Amino acid sequence: MAARKPKPRLETLVLALPETAGSALYGLVDVLTSTGSVWQMLTRTEVIALPFHVQIASMSTRSFRCGNGIPVSPSVSIRDHPPADIIIIPQLWLGPDENLRGRHPELTAWLRERYAKGASVYAVCSGTLLLAEAGLLDGREATSHWGY
């Protein structure tokens, strides 16, 4: 029997902004990087293939602190046009009276461009506010926390 050829991994970017909730950011990274390997590690069997190549992306690779002072060291900058099959925007730490209007024009333009080129773009909870700011929710239904 021929060896199984591993499927190519999906290039997955988890966006980090100053407003990002650190627990959501690192929770997503943890879940996605362990997908396809946790059971194998626990049972001490061979990992066949990891479905996602996960990187934290931001405006630059300079370290910063996000919501609640959690340190972030992005591995890629969106300005370097990293490949992305999937882009995920974690929950954002914003008061219900705050909005994102005009805060991240370069990032919202990049999201629109990546979506137009075929990337799947997802958001968690209040991360939908950034999708709305980018115009990617126009004419679509979305949910978030009731306070937004």
pLDDT at residue 66 tops 60: yes
Percent of the chain surpassing pLDDT 70: 94
Q: Which of 68, 70, 69, 61 is nearest to 26 (CA)?
A: 70
Q: What is the pLDDT at residue 35?
A: 87
* pLDDT, average across residues 2-20: 81
Alpha-carbon distance of 14 to 26, in angstroms, equals 9
37: phi then psi, degrees, rounded to nearest 5: -130, -20
Strands (E), the chain: 10-15, 52-58, 64-66, 70-72, 76-77, 86-89, 120-123
pTM (predicted TM-score): 0.88
Tokens of 147: 């306070």
Q: Which candidate, 14, 15, 10, places its Cα nearest to that of 118?
A: 10
pLDDT tens per residue, range 98-148? 888 889 999 999 999 999 999 999 999 889 999 999 999 999 888 877 777
Residue 148's Cβ-side half-sphere holds a number of Cα atoms within 13 Å equal to 19
Type of residue at 26: Y
Question: What type of residue is 99?
Answer: N
**Which domains are seen in the chain, by residue range?**
10-133 (3.40.50.880)
